[in-house]
Each structure stands twice: as structure tokens, then as C-alpha cells.
Amino acid sequence: MKKAVFIVFIVFVISCKDQKTELRYLPDSNAKINYLTVVMPEKSWAGALGNQTRALLETPYEGLPFNEPQFTLKYLPPKVFKGFARNSRSVLWFERDSFARFQLSEDLMARPQIVAKVTGLDDEVQAYFMEENINLFKAVLTEKERKEKIRRIKKAVTKDRDLQKRFNISLVYPTAYKTVKDTTNFIWIQKEIPKGHMNMVAYSLPLSVLNGKVKKRIPEIRDSIGKMYIPGRLKGSYMITERAYRPFFYKTLKGGRLTYLTKGTWEVANDFMAGPFINYMIKDTLKKRWMVIEGFVFAPATSKRDQMFELNTILDAVTFQ
């Protein structure tokens, strides 16, 4: 394809908030978190366009011990995309049209909802526009899913103030999470799930602990904290960082504070337990400390994407008092 022939159109249609728009009735959207409805002809879904769409959107969710797709795709042919099916919270819609474009619309058929419509004369044109805009679409979709997760969490938010009292930080998380360990400088919060549990821990460290190579020091710090506070099922066992899987390291800012974000896999020394974790080390210059918050999941033989997405959503929204 000669790309110069085509012009990429990116339109983000935001629902107007004027009186006229407010009167328009829209049903509540529905879908599990990180589920995406894909609408295209059956022939296209079975061909190159469908293959490309799956390859672009089913990329592995980062930091899991085994590959799980970032988004779960639910395919619908155009003939059945009507009625209740149009209430899906996230929709990717391919349609033949002489006007080639990639368009993002908000609250088009339900609320809240994001609809990406890809049009073009044939599958090749549509595939081009999809690939050119995949990073934009993923970013918008991920942010929408994060907001939806926060909305659901706030329906039954905890009233515990353990973190605020101990560390002057605040996390918004559901009442299903309960504090299982609270010491002078360590808090462990846990949520029971079928066949396992989801966990959050918080502790502070002096600024000097990160002297040296950060990518080496962070696993060492995790291992020492695990040995001190997070025991395994057997005597003498404790949580450590899995060495067989190299963690993902990122340097970023959170609320203007230098932050090291680490995603990887944990295991238990002297026992057979393992799972994914996400760790934030946030520099708190005012209190001369590193504030560490971490989430990890133990759920053997089950998928862990949705649990880690929940933990990441909670931890990413941390605020300092």
C-alpha cells in the first residue's frame, strides 16, 4: 500500500454537556474490565484484518509469569451488533466506507462507553488505519478501564485508615481487603479470592538504601523485607524476587515525586509458591524516606491479569497527606 495516498483522521468525539445532550437517554454500558467487543464481517475476522487486530490487541499483559492478553476480544458480526450488544463499554467497529479514517467517540450508544470506528474501502485500508492508531487506542482504552475500575471500587470503599495513620498516605480500596499485619513500619493488607489471595504491603525506607545500581538494589530490598515480614507456608520460607524472570524497571514521576516502578515475579524461598508483583518506590523528600507500596497475587493455576490490573489501579492512585 502506498501510505502517502491516505490521510489519517483522528477524531475524538466527546459528548457535549449542554442541556440538549443531557436529555438524550443512554443505557448503562456493560462488560468485564479489559474486555473489548470487535465488530467486523466474518470474512475479515477470519482473514488478514482479523489476524492483525488480534495481534495488536492481544499483546501480553506486562509482568505476569505466563502470557495473558492485555485485552480479551469478543467478536461480533455486524448482523448481530444491535440492541443489547451495542451497550458494550468498549467497542472496535470496522465498516466499509469511501471515507477512510480512525475515529474515537465517547458515549455513542451507552454510558460510559468508548467506540473506535475504523472505515475504509477495503480490509487493507482499514488495517493500515488501525495499525497507525493502535498506540492511541490502547492508551485511551486503558485509561477508560482504569476509571471504570475506580468507579466500581468506590461502590464499597474501605473505611480503614491504617495507612494514613502509619505513613500519611491514602489508598482507595474495597472493603474486601483486610489488614493482616501491622507493625511499626510495615502494613500487610489482604483480600481472599477463590484459590488464593491478593495482597498489598506498605513500608518506608531511608533515602540511602538506593545507593548503587537501582536494578540490583530493588530486588535485594524486596528480598530482605520478605525475609523479615512475609513468611511462606513452611518454616524458614519467605518471599523473594524470582531470578528466572527479569523484572521490568521504569523511572517515572508520581505526584511530582521521583518513582521507581518494578513489575516482576515473586517466589518463596524453600517452598513452592509464586506469582506476579508490582512495586512502587516513591521518593518523599519532605520526610527523607522512600515510601514503598507493593501489590502481589497468589492464585495458582488461574489467570492473574484482572487481579494485577486491580492492584495496579489501586496503587497508582496513591496520595500523600
The pLDDT, as a whole number, for residue 279 is 97
Q: Based on the structure, what is the number of domains in the chain?
A: 2
Same domain for 256 and 112?
no
CATH number of the domain enclosing 202: 3.40.1000.10
pLDDT digits (tens, 9 = 90+) for 112-162: 999 999 999 999 999 999 999 999 999 999 999 999 999 999 999 999 999
In this prediction, residue 22 has a pLDDT band, given cuts at 50, 70 and 90, of low
* Alpha-carbon distances, residue 206 vs 51, 101, 221, 287, 288 (angstroms): 50, 53, 12, 9, 7
Q: Which residues contact 209 (CB under 8 A, 6 or more apart)?
A: 217, 221, 290
Quick one: average pLDDT of 170-191? 95
More confident residue, 13 or 256: 256
Same domain for 276 and 239?
yes
- Mark which of 131, 153, 175 sits at the end of a domain: 153
Same domain for 37 and 93?
yes
Same domain for 21 and 86?
yes
- Mark which of 93, 120, 153 sits at the end of a domain: 153
Same domain for 181 and 103?
no
**Would you say residue 237 has pLDDT above 90?**
yes
The pLDDT, as a whole number, for residue 25 is 86
pTM for the structure as a whole: 0.89
Q: Which domain holds residue 187?
A: 157-320
Same domain for 143 and 182?
no
**Would you say residue 257 has pLDDT above 90?**
yes
